[in-house]
Amino acid sequence: MATDAVGTRNKSIKDTPGHGVAQDQGTSYEFGWNLGLAGGESLVELAARARVDERELERGIYRAANNEGLSQRRISDIVQRSQATVQRILRRINAEPELLDATPMEIIDRRTAGLITTEKMMEYLLNWKYSFGSVVRIDDVATDAYSSGDWDDIELAYYRDQLTDDEFQTLARRQIEKTAQ
């Protein structure tokens, strides 16, 4: 038997088929059953998939409550989140229904996660009607607050290396052309 980081006894890795070991500065940690990832997906891909899945779950919660008439308690049981979390999600989407819409960042995350091709991502992004962020003004006085726009997603994705130089330049040129029209 092996002892994990908190001192509990676990079956040896060798005794558990399909179990993996993660290496961290020479120390091995059991991380759970191998679910077919086999180290093939990077952390960036996994994080992008998690963000996409979270958006889809929020949309599903909204549809379940508003289209299918499920109670918050029933939704909570199904998605295994607290009823308070379900209520917050529904309140946020009801206040801002545009949260149900896809965003440029979600489209980029879908490509990063391998859910859509680069060509499909570029098709969506090249045809997007972008909004631009600006400094919030109150009584015509600039504040220190910033209201982001869709184009901020493109810049952020570029800085996070989710868009290549060529992809960013193509999108920027297209936006300049659209703005000039």
Cα 110 to Cα 116: distance, rounded to the nearest angstrom: 6
How many helices (H) and strands (E) are present in the chain, helices listed first? 7, 6
* Interhelix angle 150-159/165-180, nearest 10 degrees: 160
Residues 6+ apart with CB under 8 A from 143: 135, 136, 137
Q: Is the pTM of this model over 0.75?
A: no
Question: What is the residue-level pLDDT of the chain in tens, covering all 181 positions?
Answer: 444 444 333 333 333 344 344 444 443 434 444 455 556 678 999 999 999 999 999 999 999 999 999 999 999 999 999 999 999 999 999 999 999 999 999 999 999 999 999 999 999 999 999 887 767 778 887 777 777 788 999 999 999 999 999 999 999 999 888 888 7
Please state, in angstroms and rounded to a whole number, the distance separating the CA atoms of residues 122 and 128: 10
In the chain, what are the domain boundaries?
2-33, 43-100, 104-180
